[in-house]
Chain A
């Protein structure tokens, strides 16, 4: 069923009123989703690192647990290192999230201008209709004037120079006729311009929709790149998360009895914590700082 002009305007008004809420909700959920991806990926990575440390400590001394000598100090140093590790990953994700945030803001801007362009389209439609109507009215006026003109011409021809009809009046009417034709031409030009504006508006809408679609793809790509970048960060050798930390070769042949004679805390620190801290620092000073520029 064909909608009336009023129904169409009401629908467009509804679109306009609801758009703000939808665009805002979309941007907020999108931003929150990006944060959640970062949070989940970082948690996964930190947990894997924590498990690696635990495995490493177990490999050095399986008996090293709560109550063991220097256990609390080791626990503290591990916790500090993991916080440092996590912070480096948060900084890394922040780099990507900042880029995504810019894209989300750009998307909000584009979506708002798309809604405006739709309303503008309706305005231009009405403008064209109004001008066409005016043109029609002018045509009617013109034909009335034509009739008057014909009548006046007849009177003019019928009567001679002694006519009672004022020749000035005839001249005025003829001038008005010229003006009407000129106005009609101007109106035609205005309609042409409005039709051109409408086509430009349509092109603009297509352009905006294309850019929005590209932004959606780019957000997805950056999110994926961020996840991979977090997984790869501070890894040794391969690209996978470190499954465990290999026991230093020298301890491979040491029996449990012999291992208990060593200061486990010191061995843990020198073979697990110090190398990990070095990796964190190297990552911060190289990859991270070059990313931030």
Chain B
């Protein structure tokens, strides 16, 4: 099963070489980052109301 690579935060991750825990950690980082961006944007808009 070839999982390929993914580019995130200026780094290339080879998913085939990553362990399950490493992959879970990366997934958590992306999720946190994404949620933080959304939260910041919403706060910014809230200030504007």
Contacts and interface: CB of A to CB of B under 8 A. Distances in A.
Given A3-B44, A22-B33, A26-B31, A33 B38 contact: no
Contacts of B40: 11, 15
Contacts, number: 79
Given A114-B38, A122-B45, A26 B23 contact: no
B23 A33 contact: yes
Contacts of A12: 41, 44
Contacts of B45: 8, 118, 121-122, 125
Interface in B1-35: 1, 3-4, 6-8, 13, 15, 18, 20, 23-24, 26-27, 30-31, 33-34
B44 A111 contact: no
A76 B19 CA distance: 31
Tell me if B's interface is mostly helix, strand, loop or mixed. helix
B49 A35 contact: no
A171 interface: no
A29 interface: yes
A42 to B, nearest CB: 10
Interface string A119-154: 001100100000000000000000000000000000
A19 interface: yes
A25 B44 contact: no
The 6 closest A-B pairs by CB, nearest first: A32-B3, A25-B8, A32-B15, A26-B30, A22-B34, A28-B6
Interface of A: 2-3, 8, 11-12, 15, 18-19, 21-23, 25-26, 28-30, 32-33, 35-37, 39-40, 111, 114-115, 118, 121-122, 125, 205
